[in-house]
Structure 1
Amino acid sequence: MYSPMLSHLKTRLTTIVAIFLLCTGWSQHAWSAKKESGRPNILLIVADDLGYSDLGCFGGEIETPQLDSLAARGVRLTQYYNTGRCCPSRGSIMTGQYPHRIGLGHMTRNLNQRGYQGHIADEAITVAQILQQGGYRTFLSGKWHLGTEDPTKLGFEEFYGTLVSAKTFWDVDHFTRLPASRATHTYPKGEFYGTDAVTDYAIDFLRMGRRTPDHPWFLYLAYNAPHFPLHAPKEDILKYADRYHVGWDQIRKQRLARMKELKIVPPETKLSPRSRYWDWGESEARVNPAWDSLPTDRRGDLARRMAIFAAMVDRMDQNIGRVLTSLRQNNELENTLIIFTSDNGACAEWDPHGFDIRSSRNNTLYWGDQLDKMGGPDTHHSVGSGWANASNTPWRLYKHYNHEGGIASPGIIHWPRQIKQKGAIVSTPAHIIDIVPTLLEVSEVSYPQKWDGHSTLPLPGKSLIPQINGKQQTDRTLYFEHQGNRAIREGHWKLSALRGGDWELYDLSQDRTELNDLAEQRPDLVNQLDQKWNLWAKENFVLPFPKDYRIDYLPPIKE
């Protein structure tokens, strides 16, 4: 465990040694090389509601040069899975467990079931706690949202960000600094923006970590962008103001063409039809409309919503660039393991027009001069299901669901000192439960068999290091569930199902867009995978499903 007093003594000793080295002719380069030869620093970056194809390096038109540069020097994971929703995914990222196993099978409301407690379980252990015990400095800047009030009680020395889902990017009071006694930045009126501030504190935390050069650091940079509300600085919005008037149908086609050029998807990949959506509280689905069928004013409103979304992604990328600059300036980039991903697919809530004021059926049509106000401090918008469908190109569906549009994330891993196949694309299936085993392998910290007097849960994931270095991987089975939507993937086979619906069977080696349901042709395989899913669901407290999720937007299943 990190000790401030011990750190102070070590810092003084380090200073004395550094002076001695300078006096005896050792160079700063030699000192840095010696430091970098040890265990790596770890930077884990998670975006919020970012779609599979939003980044430039995954086929998107949004300008993301910083992440693109990481992809060019690292590897891209093109079959990298999440849990379909923010709280469950962030719980899995922190613990390496499937979310129901740690009480976060839904969100932060307690449903009085073991798998749906609404907060990270008392018996869970976070990767921050393990790394801290192994000598790492541990910091979190960004979104927590695991149902507890203080991340510093779960392994992080310092925290800045939001403890819940983002409500605004413009109000400094929405963000929290812990421990509460710590000094905070002062921002001039009108100059606070959440993504910038999260990065300000992340860079502060890196400076803290460098004060103890014999302790590597772990920084969890958990952005709440581009999650609604759609808020972005005006100069970034204007950059994209004209880009989306072509509409989501053209954007989807353009993205798929670039994805094929980049080899993110195979050349034979077909674009899925415009996805269905379920409006607030409705059990019957509708289909996203053709862009050209919408009235002119509505198209103007929706083009501006997507421009704000793009600006949020762009601004996040700019801020990631600030962090990378800090690493370069301190000779840390070569031996820092950087992992980037998103917690779920893009968010469709709740219809093609998006919502305003709050998450609900409310919608305001903006037109003319009103468009210039969108994205500012007095507004609250979502992007809607049509643009979310485009963000998840070429997949079906979105966040909440377990078809590929909900659970497929962009994945980037960058570690120049160790990655051999720079710029490579890795299509081996992987999952965010693999993050914890990966961090433990590179940090050389053992997973404890006991914690606070009780046995720890075995980790279901596996380290990503062998596969990013090109080693052949055996087939594995991955499991999914959220709000009754469910899936299982084993090798190239996948069962997917909507809440209350029958299993659909897909051969993802031929049909990852889930267009050709083979369930009737292969009932034996459906039955085999169904049995495996049910066994996993019982062992991980997924079943029985809650009868009432206590949320207005999700209607009860008809008996």
Structure 2
Amino acid sequence: MLLFSHMISYTSLMRCSIRLISYLAIAFASLQAGHAGRPNIVLILADDMGWSDLGCYGSEIPTPSIDSLARQGMQATRCYTASRCSPSRASIMTGCEPHKVDVGLLDDDSGRPGYRGRLKPDIPTLPELLKKAGYRTYLSGKWHLGKVRGTYPWDRGFDRYRGLLGGAADYYKPMPDRPFGEDGRLLKPEDLPDDFYMTEDITKTALAYIDDAARAKAPFFLYVAYTAPHTPLQAPRGEIEKMLPLYEGKSPGSIAAKRLENQKRLGIVPPSAKLGMHNKFNPAGYEKTSAERKEYIAECMATYAAQISIMDRGIGKILESLDRHHLSGNTIVMFLSDNGATAEMPQNNKNKKTALPIGLLGEVGCRDGYGPMWAAVSNTPYRQYKIETFDGGLSAPFIIRYPKVLRSGTRYHSPFLLQDIAPTCLTWAKLPVPGHMDGKPLNSYWSKPASIPPEKVWDSIPNTCPPRTIFWEHQRNRAALTDKFKLVAPNRGPWQVYDIRDRTEQNNLAPQHKALVEQLSGQYRKWAQETHAE
């Protein structure tokens, strides 16, 4: 009897085991089928690069890899960012307005809601949501969304991470000034190789992550966050010398005029567009500048261009790796910048009247920036710079390639925001979009861009985007965008009003639209109260 009882128990156990194995097999098969239908996502972010710094946006800087991506996918002309790096990155990672997730400024804790300098722990990040669907998640490069324990990338959904945890740093020797981390630990200066160069390290790490993802045979999310071309101006001397002929003997104003001419030829600005910051160039003053100073000015821009060129070469390697692993057909690749170009003049060349010794630019310890004139070139044709809420500070290039869904060589002229990226990716990954996200899924809009004759594109904003009013705030700079007007209030000054077709923001219509100002300023105050914006 005891033996019979044991036989029944053993038989029952075997049946349970077989049933469990069957369930697991079905679940695994379902998971594999789900994986097969989910795209890989590669998001590549430049740092402080202006709207016009790519060949496909009118630049003289050679960017063949990114230009090819634009030809193969969709190129946007009205991608709006936050006006600084950390808030933009917060929106990308969460699908939310940055103040809502406590990153209204940078990664320093200001001690008040909206400005705590780290992502709110109760709002999930895009990689955290993707992991639930079996995605492997990787980040190579700059984080800048929290620099205390519990806020690092490995705490917020990334399986693998290597890069700069804080803000911009020396490209050759980032530590000890800035923390650098890898896979759950903080690195020491001696942990980096002697030939370390930030941009190339970010590329090398991204390539290793693609290899890892290919072996895993699971969908993956790879975030490649370059620090280029953020200050300081640092690049190998040979790379700078390749770029010097583009700028020697040429004034910033002449370069900006050529870019605008190229943009009109490419059809990415209206034929009537003018330089929004023509007053920044002062041709007469430039001609009176000493030959030594002109040489220094040219070398500044050549170094900046070299930083972009090195990044573009790395992006080419990433695209080649996707091809080599036969992943390109089912991989969404996006490229964009986190905000407009900066007029900031760090350390060495701040208020300098004379040139630094030729050769110092690009070297270890250099802290120079390229200054307001070249930043105005980078933001061609738009007005003002990073930190401000004119279009020069808020406009970024945006390119997306998704062969299965998006037609090659298309343009998207409607406005959208960085917080739209997360819900769009989730929708393509067949995942629900959480209700707390402020962004809108743009899948249907991007897959079927409006068919508008080229001569009509600039008459009005194509109705191919979700209807909404958008608000911004950064360091007391405010803005609001409707389907017809953009309002800007620099440094808490009075509201200025521009027709949305006036992208260079030259003709202030505020006196004719007092009722609109009153209405939208009231909506702004309500928005600011809800999001803890100043």
**Structure 1 consecutive aligned stretches of length 4 or more whose deviation exceeds 6 Å:** 181-187
Name the TM-score, length of structure 1 as normaliser.
0.82
Residue 459 (structure 2) aligns with: none
1:335-346 to 2 correspondences below 5 Å: 335-346=330-341
In the TM superposition, what whole-angstrom CA distance separates every residue of 1:447-474 from its partner, at most 9, and x where no partner exists? 35xxxxxxxx611111222222225334
Of the three residues 245, 258, 262, the one matched with 2:262 is: 258
Shift of 1:123: 2.1
Residue 484 (structure 2) aligns with: 492
Q: 1:327 touches 1:333 (CA, 8 Å); kept in 2?
A: yes
Residue 216 (structure 2) aligns with: 212
Shift of 1:364: 7.8
Of the three residues 210, 222, 226, the one matched with 2:225 is: 222
Q: 1:160 touches 1:176 (CA, 8 Å); kept in 2?
A: yes
Shift of 1:517: 0.4
- Does residue 384 of structure 1 match 2:375? no
AA aligned to 1:86 is C
- Does residue 508 of structure 1 match 2:511? no
AA aligned to 1:404 is D
1:250-399 to 2 correspondences below 5 Å: 250-274=254-278, 290-350=285-345, 355-357=346-348, 361=350, 363=352, 365-366=354-355, 370-399=357-386
Residue 164 (structure 1) aligns with: 166
Shift of 1:273: 3.5
- Does residue 232 of structure 1 match 2:235? yes
Of the three residues 448, 453, 473, the one matched with 1:481 is: 473
Name the TM-score, length of structure 2 as normaliser.
0.86
In the TM superposition, what whole-angstrom CA distance separates every residue of 1:54-79 from its partner, at most 9, and x where no partner exists? 00001111100000001001011100
Shift of 1:295: 2.7
RMSD: 2.6
AA aligned to 1:107 is L
More helix as a share of residues: 2
Q: 1:341 touches 1:409 (CA, 8 Å); kept in 2?
A: yes
Residue 73 (structure 1) aligns with: 72
Shift of 1:188: 5.8
AA aligned to 1:304 is E
Q: How far apart are the structure 1 equivalents of 2:504 and 2:321?
A: 40
Helix, strand or coil at the partner of 1:348 = coil
Q: How far apart are the structure 2 equivalents of 1:308 and 1:140?
A: 26
- Does residue 147 of structure 1 match 2:146? yes
- Does residue 542 of structure 1 match 2:527? no
Q: How far apart are the structure 1 equivalents of 2:52 and 2:187?
A: 39
- Does residue 418 of structure 1 match 2:409? no
In the TM superposition, what whole-angstrom CA distance separates every residue of 1:212-269 from its partner, at most 9, and x where no partner exists? 21x2000000111100011112221111112223111001100000001111111111
Residue 17 (structure 2) aligns with: none
In the TM superposition, what whole-angstrom CA distance separates every residue of 1:320-373 from its partner, at most 9, and x where no partner exists? 0111111000111111001111111001004xxxx444xx94648436xx3223
Q: How far apart are the structure 2 equivalents of 1:382 and 1:181?
A: 28
1:395-414 to 2 correspondences below 5 Å: 395-414=382-401
Helix, strand or coil at the partner of 2:399 = strand
Shift of 1:481: 0.9
Of the three residues 163, 168, 176, the one matched with 2:181 is: 176
AA aligned to 1:265 is V
Q: How far apart are the structure 1 equivalents of 2:482 and 2:60?
A: 33
AA aligned to 2:92 is I
Q: How far apart are the structure 2 equivalents of 1:42 and 1:111?
A: 34
Residue 458 (structure 2) aligns with: none
Q: Based on CA coordinates, which of the two structures has the bigger radius of gyration?
A: 2
Q: Give ranges in structure 2 of 5+ residues lacking alignment.
A: 1-20, 450-463
Q: How far apart are the structure 1 equivalents of 2:303 and 2:440?
A: 37
Q: Give ranges in structure 1 of 5+ residues lacking alignment.
A: 1-8, 18-31, 278-286, 449-456, 544-559
Q: 2:171 touches 2:198 (CA, 8 Å); kept in 1?
A: yes
Q: 1:36 touches 1:332 (CA, 8 Å); kept in 2?
A: no
Shift of 1:294: 2.7
Residue 6 (structure 2) aligns with: none
1:517–1:290 distance in 2 versus 1, CA, 3 Å = farther
